[in-house]
């Protein structure tokens, strides 16, 4: 049971943190339509994470709710992968992060929808319809910027430099994934093929074998997560139990 709870929280946390990151663009997007697009994606991710938190809260009992799980856990308790907590940087870095994550999430949820746990399977099946949009949108942006101007190409190279080292972790299972979660190691080849085909069209190089950072899934995060939680949890920390 505790593995199931941890696994559900891990899935929920990755989505919540990326939703929060994307929401930072609200009102700051490069043009109105894209501002709306990135916040729509944020909303989808938030909705998916709410479904997961509600499920985890039911499994946990003891007064846990989706709100206590999102607002009252500390940094070391969050199990999101490191990729999603990385700063937005410029638009190129944001769309690359989305592309790398959504491509992974799609493969992951295609397996998760067949899981023996019916609730996780149902959440995944519903989310897949939304993820298809995220993959398409972010792929188009990676291609547009990679194969764009000298400046945009340069920025995408920089984004790859910033983010690639956080992708390896997604394919290394944590303890709680081993028992019944999706076999993430088995997703790696297909993920790499999909990323390679978009990168080729975008005239971007796949980095050579580099050192991969790990730790997020077991609560050891980069410095960024603390700042995200400070903002995300501010209200409930300052005014415990506030409702409106």
Partner 1 sequence: MLVQTNKLKATTENVMQVLSAVTDPEIPVLSIIDLGIVRDVIINNDEVEIIITATYSGCPAMDMIAMNIRLAMMENGFSKIKITTALAPAWTTDWMSEDGKRKLKEYGIAAPDKNFNIATDGVECPQCHSTNTKLLSEFGSTACKALYQCNNCREPFDYFKCH
Question: In the complex, which residues of this chain contact partner 1 (CB under 8 A)?
Answer: 33-34, 36-37, 40-41, 43-48, 50-51, 118-119, 121-123, 125-127, 129-130, 133, 136-137
- Residue closer to partner 1 (CB basis): 118 or 208: 118
- Residue closer to partner 1 (CB basis): 52 or 82: 52
Under 8 Å between Cβ of 92 and 228: no
How far apart (Å, rounded) are the C-alpha atoms in residues 102 and 109?
Answer: 10
- Residue closer to partner 1 (CB basis): 118 or 243: 118
How far apart (Å, rounded) are the C-alpha atoms in residues 168 and 211?
Answer: 9
Min. distance of Cβ 4 from partner 1 in angstroms?
17
Min. distance of Cβ 118 from partner 1 in angstroms?
7
Min. distance of Cβ 132 from partner 1 in angstroms?
9
Min. distance of Cβ 27 from partner 1 in angstroms?
15
How far apart (Å, rounded) are the C-alpha atoms in residues 173 and 25?
Answer: 31
Under 8 Å between Cβ of 109 and 172: no
- Residue closer to partner 1 (CB basis): 102 or 167: 102
Tell me which residue has tokens 């997020």.
Answer: 216
Min. distance of Cβ 51 from partner 1 in angstroms?
6
How far apart (Å, rounded) are the C-alpha atoms in residues 194 and 100?
Answer: 10
- Residue closer to partner 1 (CB basis): 119 or 218: 119
Work out the number of other CB atoms within 10 angstroms of the CB of residue 3. Answer: 15
How far apart (Å, rounded) are the C-alpha atoms in residues 55 and 9?
Answer: 9
């Amino acid at each position: 049971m505790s593995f199931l709870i941890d696994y559900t929280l891990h899935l929920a946390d990755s989505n919540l943190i990326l939703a929060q990151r994307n929401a930072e663009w609200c009102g700051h997007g490069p043009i109105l339509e894209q501002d709306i697009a990135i916040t729509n994606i944020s909303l989808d991710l938030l909705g998916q994470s709410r479904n997961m938190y509600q499920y985890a809260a039911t499994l946990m009992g003891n007064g846990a709710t989706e709100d206590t799980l999102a607002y009252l856990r500390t940094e070391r308790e969050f199990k999101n992968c490191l990729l999603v907590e990385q700063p937005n940087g410029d638009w190129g870095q944001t769309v690359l992060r989305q592309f790398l994550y959504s491509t992974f999430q799609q493969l992951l949820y295609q397996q998760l929808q067949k899981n023996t746990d019916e609730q996780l399977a149902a959440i995944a099946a519903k989310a897949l319809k939304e993820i298809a949009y995220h993959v398409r949108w972010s792929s188009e942006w990676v291609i547009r910027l990679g194969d764009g101007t000298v400046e945009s190409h340069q920025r995408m190279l920089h984004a790859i430099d910033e983010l690639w080292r956080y992708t390896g972790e997604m394919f290394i299972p944590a303890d709680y994934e081993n028992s019944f979660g999706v076999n993430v190691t088995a997703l790696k080849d297909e993920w790499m093929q999909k990323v390679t085909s978009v990168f080729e069209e975008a005239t971007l190089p796949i980095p050579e074998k580099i050192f991969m950072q790990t730790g997020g899934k077991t609560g050891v995060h980069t410095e960024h997560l603390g700042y995200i939680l400070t903002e995300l949890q501010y209200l409930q920390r300052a005014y415990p139990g506030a409702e409106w």
